[in-house]
Amino acid sequence: MNSIFSARHCPASKGIRGSIPRSVSDETSERGGVCPLALGRQPIFEETGGLRRPAQKPLTLPRAGSRLLGWWCVVCLVMGRTLGTAEAQQPPVSGRFAIAIHGGAGDELDNITEEERKVHRKSLAAALEVGRKIVAEGGKAMDAVEQTIRVLEDDPLFNAGRGAVFNAAGTHELDASVMDGSTGQGGAVAGVTTVKNPISLARLVMTETPHVLLTGAGAEKFADAMRDRKQIERVPNTYFSTELRRLEWEKEKKAQAAKSHRGTVGCVVCDQHGNLAAGTSTGGLTNKMMGRVGDSPILGAGTYANNATCAVSCTGTGEYYIRNSIAFHVSALMAYKGLSLDDATQHVIQKVLPNDIGGVIAVDGMGNISMRFNTSGMARASIDSSGKVVIELGK
């Protein structure tokens, strides 16, 4: 935008960008002080968005005031250039990256066969590779989080997307959230019933609305509005059903209880720019009450990311994570007590959460990874730029 505030029109810019028009310098010396922002007697126009309009009428000030405002223009000019340059700069590429994922924590993993364990490891490895490829090629942490979780949501092994558990009414309600550590922005959806990949809708809440969390019918209506986005695919609610989940639901109905099937999925990433991101997606608890929302779509409880500290995704019985703001708790221990990433996750798992509740995965800006849990197992995998790979189910 060119305007009366541009440096080329300001008397204070003499010596910086060439000589001052005579009409302006005469105005300043002969009349005892025209505001340095004024451009003399001739009509001046300012341009805004391609439109031209008359500039404001010059203000006559004492000579001292003119000098003072002149120097102020110089200061503003220099500061503006400096800030503009800083804003345009991107964090340097370090070549270092790290990514970790989880597929839920709990005792269910104790009761599967060795062949089933191989299938679980293969699924984790496939999802991990999607995220690894993105960040290894210099992609953004947020892109890696979304695309990795989409793979996990499409895999019926996990309690997210296809394979989500049944609620008490025999249907599926899905929750998801994302958070960008470089901006502090986040988005989430809860109780969606026809969105194939809730993690992508959560990201659109972050980027396309002024809100953080949309629920139920409102989230579905937002998905309608985003129907032109290829990542928002709609499916019938029965798409999420699998025979395994139905059998689990029938068993829990007989017990008249809601059991935590902790197959929630999550991903945390540090990209080569040092930016962090986190995401979590789930179907919730088997036989949960309709409308129940756990920690997964709650920023600070089940998902959190801050470039200054860490990115965290949680899995377990969500009510405990909500009450204790577990994801943010990890970040706070690093920020306020100076704990390392691994010490912070160890603290919340061992001293904040009750035993046999769940786990967390986390990564910091240096590419350190921590994956801790207090259950008998947690499906988890990680890889970093050194090539170190971890894929585990139990302790």
pLDDT class for 254, splitting at 50, 70, 90? confident
Backbone φ, ψ for residue 228 (5° rounding): -80, -10
Count other Cβ atoms within 10 Å, centred on residue 194.
17
Residue range 112-136: average pLDDT? Answer: 95
What CATH code is carried by the domain that includes residue 112?
Answer: 3.60.20.30
pLDDT at 63: 53
Quick one: pLDDT band at residue 91, thresholds 50, 70, 90? low
Per the prediction, the chain carries an average pLDDT of 82
On whether residue 63 sits in a domain, the answer given is: yes
Tens digit of each residue's pLDDT (9 = 90 or more) over 261-319: 568 999 999 999 999 999 999 999 999 999 999 999 999 999 999 999 999 999 999 99
Out of 35, 55, 88, a domain closes at 88
CA torsion sign for 147, 153, 156, 157 is positive
Q: What is the pLDDT of residues 363-394, one digit of tens each?
A: 999 999 999 999 999 999 999 999 999 999 98
In this structure, the answer to whether residues 201 and 336 fall within a common structural domain is yes
Return d(Cα 300, Cα 322) in angstroms, integer: 8
Q: What is the predicted pLDDT for the residue at 307?
A: 98
Residues 180 and 297 in one domain: yes
CB within 8 Å of 29: residues ≥ 6 apart: none
pLDDT band at 43 (very low <50, low <70, confident <90, very high): very low
Indicate if the pLDDT at residue 236 is higher than 90.
yes
Q: Judge whether 264 counts as a catalytic residue.
A: yes
pLDDT at 39 over 50: no
Residue at 51: amino acid letter: L
Mean pLDDT of 206-229: 97
63 lies in the same domain as 130: no
Residues 6+ apart with CB under 8 A from 295: 280, 301, 302, 314, 316, 318, 319, 321, 322, 326, 327
250 plus 383 within the same structural domain: yes
Q: In the predicted model, what is the mean pLDDT of residues 35-43?
A: 40
Domain assignment present for residue 148? The answer is yes
pLDDT in tens, 165-182: 999 999 999 999 999 999
Identify the pLDDT of residue 17. Answer: 36
Domain that holds residue 224: 98-394
pLDDT computed for residue 46 by the predictor: 46
Domain end (from 29, 63, 88): 88
In a domain, 188, yes or no: yes
The amino acid sitting at 218 is G
The verdict on 261 and 329 lying in the same domain is yes
Interior angle at CA 120, CA 114 and CA 126, nearest 5: 140
- Whether residue 374 is contained in a domain is answered as yes
Residue 193 lies in a domain: yes
Residues 350 and 256 in one domain: yes
> Does 383 lie in the same domain as 323?
yes
Share of the chain above pLDDT 90, in %: 68
- Residue where a domain stops, chosen among 63, 88, 113: 88
**Structural domain includes residue 2:** no
Catalytic position from the list 148, 264, 280, 375? 264
What is the pLDDT averaged over residues 5-16? 38
- In sequence order, what are the beta bridge partners of 98? 270, 384
pLDDT recorded at residue 1 = 42
Most confident residue range from 71-75, 79-83, 111-115? 111-115
202 & 62 share domain: no
Find the mean pLDDT for residues 197-205.
98
Residues 40 and 178 in one domain: no
Structural domain count, the chain: 2
**Burial of residue 228, with CB atoms counted within 10 A of its CB: 0-12 exposed, 13-18 middle, 19 or more buried:** exposed
Structural domain contains residue 1? no
Alpha-carbon gap, residue 258 to 234, rounded angstroms: 28
User: What pLDDT was estimated at residue 92?
Assistant: 67
Task: Indicate if 200 and 279 belong to the same structural domain.
Answer: yes
**Predicted local distance difference test score (pLDDT) of residue 94:** 76
User: What number is the average pLDDT over the span 186-196?
Assistant: 98
Residues 188 and 239 in one domain: yes
Tell me: do 43 and 108 sit in the same domain.
Answer: no
* Strand order across the beta sheet in which 303-305 lies: 303-305, 310-316, 358-364, 369-373
